[in-house]
Structures are given as structure tokens and as C-alpha cells.
Amino acid sequence: MSAEPQKVQESAGEIVAALVERARAAMAAYENHDQARVDEAVTALAWSLYKPENARALAELAVEDTGLGNVDSKIIKNTRKTFGTLRDLMRAKTVGVIAEEPERGLVKYGKPVGVVGAVCPSTNPAATPVNKAMMALKGGNPVIIAPSPAGYHTTAQTVAQMRAELKKCGHPEDLVQILPAPVSKDLTQALMNQVDLAVVTGSQNNVKRAMQSGTVAIGVGAGNVPVIIDSTADLDDAAEKICASKIFDNATSCSSENAVVILDDVYEAAIAALERAGAWRCGPEEIATVSEKLWIGGKLNRHVIAKDAAVTAKVMGLSAPAQAAKFFLVEQDEVGGKHSFADEKLSLFLTVYRAKDFDEAKSIVRQILEVTGKGHSAGIHTKNPDHARALAAETDVVRILVNQAHTFGNGGGFNNCLPFTLSMGGGTWAGNTISDNLNYTHFINITHLVTTIPEDKPSEEALFGAYWQKYGK
């Protein structure tokens, strides 16, 4: 009885070993000592998805494959994320001499990390594989993609198009490969075990297994973004941004707002602004009905995950006027636990909390993040920079966005400084090794060439003087 699982595991290991061998051969043939050729390869990958007909076809295929999100949003995701990431990558040096600091006697050399295993989610079966592949190849590395089984057809087509573009400009096609169908946990685990770097987006189970694989791993945390609307906020601007972000791709993004905390003195006015932006304010009976149907057996109801608003309202038994709304407000008096409205919902429900003052608003945000999403992100709509700074100082997340739509800002924006990415680390708060947006720096090793400089040795008095004066020697 015990021999069969071992046989399956060996088979998975053998399949992955062959892919890794091909990846290493491709890496040996890759002109990854030449920044111009590397940049050309990265541009080829970007064009394979950014090309308008490809962006649309893969968006349509993704929705057909997974049943998640909507085509128009996925087209935007395929193009905007790819364009922004290409912008970032074209500005960076990653191979050969990447920095010189003569005053410090230092020269830095960028070098590959090796074969990258990229585990990708069903929510972005085209955009995430291209995003990770661009970063991997920018560092001089090959990549093997482990797609979600639900999005396999889309990811396989995406990989085929990346390979075709690489071939067109004379780069080894095996710089980008994909696990063969049917993808299984055994195959994905074997990949994480055998590569030099595993980069995991999506399932927190996959993230944990990558961390336990013995391979150097980068995983990202779960999102569950809460945002504050304070007394100084431009309410209509905040509502429009929250709406645009919440409904984008039917709330599939880990950066989608899941809760809004509104200060008491602007509460009703903010609710009215959200209604003008397209929200439906659920009544007490509707909230009770949604609560019963949103989680089934401890799992989110698959019939509303990333579904259109009309579909969601119908499944939940909401009224005809509600079915015409863009998203739904569920007001709560207190923060619940797992499988409550405080949890990540991956659907068009936005939980609303009322705070008596700003201190209570910050407390509610922290309580929400303790349920799910600690380390990931939070935000505030305000004209008071002190409020933004206080939220950042007191909240254990990697990102605090101010007056921004989270879905369009968390993963990089053209009007903020964050690197474009589809994978966002949550630091040790989320059990992650990075407290940053995944970017090219995570795909290179650096050799430091160190030469001598004039001695930089301060006196004992300079270092210990203040301490001696206060406490004695």
C-alpha cells in the first residue's frame, strides 16, 4: 500500500529533473553576461502578452478557464502590469557591473540565482507567469512555471507565446518552461524541491510548503485590505477610488479593499458617497442572509467568488435593485473572526465599520489584520498627513496607501514609487522572507569587489563619549 505514493513521487521528481536539466542548458546558452541581450529577452516576454490581440485572447481564455473575474479587467491587468514592470526593468542594471562606488572602494557585480520555480495562481493565469518570467530573465535566470490546475490552459498558451517571442530574437526557448499537465501537488512540490529559488504566489498552503522544501523560497501573504475614511477626506473621491478598486476583476486581487472604517462624524455622508459610486447598502435582513451564504462549510461560496455583481446578488437572494449595483456594503458593529465579514471575501462585498474617532479606527484596522492580512496592506483617505503617518507607524503592514485605489497602487503605479508586480511580500508578519514588492533585486546574487580606502576609524570618545558621560566608564 505504501509503495504507490512513493512511485508517484519518484515520477514527479523525474519529470521535474528533466525540466531543470533543460533549464540549466538554456541558462548556459543565454547571453546573460550582456545587459542589452538580457533586456531584449525581457522585452520579448513583455511583448508576448502586451501585444493587443494576445492580451485580449488570454484574458478571454482566463475567464473561460477559471470562471474568475472579467475580461476587460484582465486585459488591463495583462497590459498595465506588463508595461509597468518593463519600465522598471529597463531602468535597472542586473548583469556584470551593476554599481560602482569608488569613494567606498566598492564595485558590485550582478549574477544569476539559478533555475527559478514560479508557482502562479488561478486569479492571474497569464499576467503573473509573464511578470515573474520577466524578472527571472532580467537576472539572467531560466524559469519553470507551476500553474494553477484551474488556469492551466491559459498559462500553457501564455508560455507558448513567451517561448515563440524568445525564439524570434534568438534566445533559448527553454528559458521559459511549464510543468506538464495534469499539474499536481506532487509535481509542484518536486519543482519547489529541485530549483535554486522558488517564488510562490497564491495558495498559502503552497507558500508554507515552499518554505519547508529546503529550497530558498520567496512567498507572499494573504491580502485583506482595510482602509480608513477620516473626517478630512474628499468623500466622493474616496468612494470612486474604492469602487474602482473593489470591482476591478470582480475583487480577485489580494489588494482589493475588503473593509472600510469610517469616522463617526462623516459616516452617513461617506455611505452616501459610496452609494453614489455604485454601492448597495444591505439592510439587516440582507446582511444576515449574506452571512449564511457567503461561507459554506468553512469555505467561501464558489458561486460568488470573483463573480459579476448581478450574479452575486442573485445567488445571495438580494433584491432586483441590488442586482443593478456594482458592489455591496455590509455594516458591522464589531470585528469578527475567521469566516466572518472581517475575513478576506474575494467577492464584491465590502465590510463597513463605524469608528468614534481616529484612534478607534486604527484599532479596528489592526483587529481586521489579525483575522487575515497582517503584513500585507492598509490605507487611508485623508487630507491630514499626520493621520497617514500615525497609521503607518502603528500598523504592521508593508504598505500604507494614501488617497489611492489599492488594486491600482499596491502592486506599483505610475503615480507612486512602488515597483510594479503581481506578488507582494508581507514580511515576517505574514511569514514571508520579503517586506517589499517582488522585483528584480530578488532574482540576482551580488558579488562585492572590495578595495582599500583611507582608514575610517573614529576615536573611542566619538563612539563611547555620550554613554560614558551619562553612565560612567
Put residue 375 in one of left, alpha, beta given phi > 0 → left and psi -120 to 50 → alpha: left
For 270, phi then psi, to 5°, come to -70, -40
d(CA 380, CA 136) in angstroms, rounded, equals 34
Place of cell 508560455: 159
Cell numbers 493587443: residue: 52
Non-local (6+) Cβ contacts of 235 within 8 A are 229, 266, 269, 270, 272, 273
List the 96-101 sheet strands across, edge first: 96-101, 106-112, 444-450
Catalytic residue among 120, 169, 243, 254: 254
CB 327, CB 246: distance < 8 Å: yes
Cell numbers that stand for 118 in this block: 514560479
Q: Is 254 a catalytic residue?
A: yes
| Residue 448 vs residues 89, 97, 109, 440: alpha-carbon distances, Å | 22, 10, 7, 18
- Per the DSSP assignment, residues forming a β-bridge with 381 are 229
Q: Are 121 and 201 in contact (CB under 8 A)?
A: yes
Q: Copy the grid coordinates of residue 429.
A: 508578519
- Cα separation, 217 vs 212, whole angstroms: 9
Measure the CA–CA gap between 19 and 17, rounded to whole angstroms. Answer: 5
Q: Catalytic residue numbers?
A: 254
